[in-house]
Structure formats: structure tokens, C-alpha cells
Amino acid sequence: MASVGRGQVVDTFVTLADTLVDGYDVVDLMHTLVDTCSALVKASAGGILLVNDHRQLEVVASTNERSRLVELMQLRGGGGPCLDSYLTGRPVSVPDLATDDSRWPVFRAQALEQHFRAVHAVPLRLRAETIGSLNLFWDRPDALDERDAEVVQALAHVATIGILQERAMRESTIAREQLQRALNSRVVIEQAKGVVAQTRNVGMEEAFSLIRDYARKNQTPLAVVSEGIVTRTIAVP
């Protein structure tokens, strides 16, 4: 396979980078990655497997239904170059599936049935963390040369950084929201302690014990009980 030109590589990186704007959509990023990579190396099709929150791989993007079907069969059959690339964190290349009959019989049969003859898979990996794989298919026997393989892996790295950054931002936002909810709840709890202390003529510590005991006995969050006390919809015995 002839190496892609430098201008094509630059254009592809620019296209991918343009997707990484504020508030970008990860799914859109995945489709941009698989589309641009497939076009860059003249692959017949491409797809992406991404690990979910349960550490299970899912097909999240594909250029056509044929590649999606082959990737699904890999997951169901428990083997294939795309799955191996994810598990090992290394590229896996098969220049001719017709002659490679020693591995992944389910995948190989399905790929040939869909008229794919070659596949190149690279991990979506950053340092020690692998989150999926990018997979390219050809309708003819073929192989990426070393330079093109490096370009594809570099594009996969860029997308991986984008995904992990979005995940970190999302988790950070969730953490901030949880912290703010805790702070807000603390204000309500202090108000409820004051109400109970006044109405029951007890100290603040005993008031809190009464509120907590009521919440546990009724299996209701402390903040909810406190809110009810403040709004006079709950009366602590």
C-alpha cells in the first residue's frame, strides 16, 4: 500500500482536532475518527469498539453495517484481531484473512462472508489504560506500511486523549455537584437541628441524634428528613 501524503495526514489531524471543541460529543468524535482514518488509508470499512462502565466492549461507531456486523460477531464469538488489540494494548494486523486460518475461526468466517480480506486493529490507549480499539477492514488482501500504521495509531491516541479528558471533566462535574449537594444538605440539617432543639427543648447534639435516628428508622436520607422538619411536614418524635 502506498503511503499517504503529508498533506492528507495534516488534513486528517485538523479534521479530528476540529471535533474536540468545548462541549464536544464523544460519539461524534468516534465517528469522525473512524471515517477520517478509513478515508486516509483507503480502507473499505472501519469500526470502533469502546469499553463501557461495566468493562464490556461495545460497537460505538462504524462506517457501514458490514463492519458493525463483523465487530459484533467478534464480541459474541470471543475472539478476533480487534478484541486482541484491546486486550493486549498492541496493534494486530492480518494482511490476508483467506490464508490466516489458525486464529479466530468465527471472526474469520464472518469477515470473509462480508467480503473482507484484510484487517488492521490498533488500541485506543493512553499509557497503561486501554479503552477500546480502532479497526480497519479492506475488501482485498493488503497491509499498512510502517509509516501509515504509525499515523493511524497517532490518530487513535488523539481520540483516546479526547475521550479520557471528557470522562475526567464529566466525573469532575459529578464530584462537584455531589459536593455542592452535600454542602446544601448540611445547611438544611443545621436548620433542622435548630428546629428540633427549640421544639423539643434539647441541645443541638441530641437534636441531631433524634434526626438521624428518625432517618435511619424510616430509611430516608438525612437531608430529606431535615428538609421535612424545616418545612414542618415531618415531626420527629
pTM greater than 0.75 (yes/no):
no
Range of 58's domain? 6-169
Judgement on whether residues 104 and 208 belong to the same structural domain of the protein: no
Task: Establish if 237 belongs to a structural domain.
Answer: no
Judgement on whether residues 105 and 28 belong to the same structural domain of the protein: yes
How does residue 2 score in pLDDT terms, banded at 50, 70 and 90? very low
Judgement on whether residues 133 and 153 belong to the same structural domain of the protein: yes
Q: What's the confidence (pLDDT) of residue 146? A: 87
**Residue 119, helix vs strand vs coil:** strand
pLDDT by residue (tens digit) across 109-134?
Answer: 999 999 999 999 999 998 888 989 99
Residue 3 pLDDT more than 70?
A: no
Q: How many domains does the chain have?
A: 2
CA distances from 31 to 37, 57, 66 (A): 10, 16, 15
Task: Establish if 235 belongs to a structural domain.
Answer: no
- Name the helix (H) or strand (E) containing 188: helix 146-200
Calpha distance 123→142 (Å, rounded): 20
What CATH number does residue 143 fall under?
A: 3.30.450.40
Task: Establish if 38 belongs to a structural domain.
Answer: yes
What CATH number does residue 218 fall under?
A: 1.10.10.10
Q: Which residues contact 24 (CB under 8 A, 6 or more apart)?
A: 162, 166
Average pLDDT, the chain: 83
> For cell 479526547, what's the residue?
162
Task: Establish if 205 belongs to a structural domain.
Answer: yes
pLDDT by residue (tens digit) across 24-51?
Answer: 677 777 788 888 888 888 999 999 898 8
Q: What's the confidence (pLDDT) of residue 1? A: 46
Residue finishing a domain among 169, 187, 215: 169
Three cell numbers written together for 114:
462480508
DSSP letters of 100-132? Answer: --SS-HHHHHHHHHTT--EEEEEEEEETTEEEE
pLDDT by residue (tens digit) across 161-210?
Answer: 877 877 777 777 766 666 677 667 778 888 999 999 988 889 988 888 89
Calpha distance 210→131 (Å, rounded): 48
